[in-house]
Amino acid sequence: MKRLLVAVLAVVVALATPLAAAPTTPLRVVAYETRPFFYRDAQGQPAGLEHDILAFHAKTHGERLEVTFAKSFDDVLPQLLAGKADVAAATITVTPERQQQMDFSAPYFPVRVMLVVPRAQPVRAIGELNGTPVATMHGTTYEKILQAGAPAAKLVYGFDEAALLDLVDAGKARAAAMDSSVAYALLARHPQLQLGIPLSPEQALAFAVPKGSALAPELTKTIGQLKASKIYFRLLEQHLGAEAAKLVAAGKG
């Protein structure tokens, strides 16, 4: 384990090390804080799985990351579509609707939307949520799935996934809908909560870019290089834990 941590730290240091000639071309990234994918660390510096992938890409292309954090998930894709960023990194699920408006890199992580519920109060079917408060976030696939599957549920909104779990924990929501990958990382702080039923088939998280941007194939190539070199799986273990890295390596979402 110690050797693995040293190796991962070496990767992170390499990602953060500038090129001999300081890159001048910016890679403009609009991000949204969702640990452990993209967030600000204790020193206020960008960090996370998405950040490290983009940092590797920028370094190998002689670019510098220029990160802007959106105030909410709702603001991320509009900023990209308005030309204020070259790439959006915000645990964005690839959907047919979004593919009509923008292009995507190859997936960098498998995901499915799932319920998070109190251990003492499991939910057997999404219809059971009708008439009850359920936590979600504006403009997300979570919200759309709940609106379709439990149209009479009383949706209550949180700023991010951590806030959704707090709402369930405090008894202000019967359940919360969120990506399994994010829930997996947050549930350690909520031992009385657990993953419940899946609300979607397996989907994928990817980086979004404007329609026709050359960044889509370039980022796809970078993701392929990281996977081929095994750096990708070290980053998964660092940010999401050994179990997540093993599941992805085995092809299980």
User: How much helix, strand and coil, in percent to the nearest 5, is found in the chain?
Assistant: 40, 25, 35
Does 210 lie in the same domain as 104?
Answer: yes
Cα 72–chain centre separation: 14
**pLDDT tens, position by position, 62-95:** 999 999 999 999 999 999 999 999 999 999 999 9
Same domain, 25 and 54: yes
Residues 165, 211: one domain?
A: no
Residues 241, 118 share a domain: no
Which of 160, 217, 156, 165 is CA-nearest to residue 188? 165
Q: Which tens digit of pLDDT belongs to each residue from 4-48?
A: 444 554 554 454 444 445 667 899 999 999 888 999 999 999 999
My answer on whether 88 and 117 are in the same domain is: no
Domain end point (choices 157, 179, 198):
198
Q: Which of 198, 215, 239 is the last residue of a domain?
A: 198
Interval 147-166 mean pLDDT: 96
Q: Same domain, yes or no, for 6 and 106? A: yes
Looking at the 3D structure of the chain, how many domains does it have? 2
Residues 13 and 52 in one domain: yes
Domain shared by 37 and 69, yes or no: yes
Mean pLDDT is lowest, of 124-128, 157-161, 244-248, for 244-248
Q: Domain range holding 130?
A: 113-198
Indicate whether 63 and 100 sit together in one domain. Answer: yes
Distance CA 8, CA 234 (A): 6
Residue 189 one-letter amino acid: R
Asked if residue 134 and residue 36 are part of one domain, the reply reads no
- Cβ-based neighbour number of residue 97 at 10 Å: 8
CATH number, position 120: 3.40.190.10
Same-domain pairing of 104 and 208: yes
Q: Where are the beta strands (DSSP E) in the chain?
A: 25-31, 39-40, 46-47, 63-69, 87-93, 102-104, 109-111, 113-118, 133-136, 154-157, 175-179, 193-198, 203-210
Query: What is the average per-residue pLDDT within 189-196?
Result: 93
Q: Are residues 27 and 69 both part of a single domain?
A: yes
pTM score:
0.74
Q: Please say which residue of 158, 179, 198 terminates a domain.
A: 198
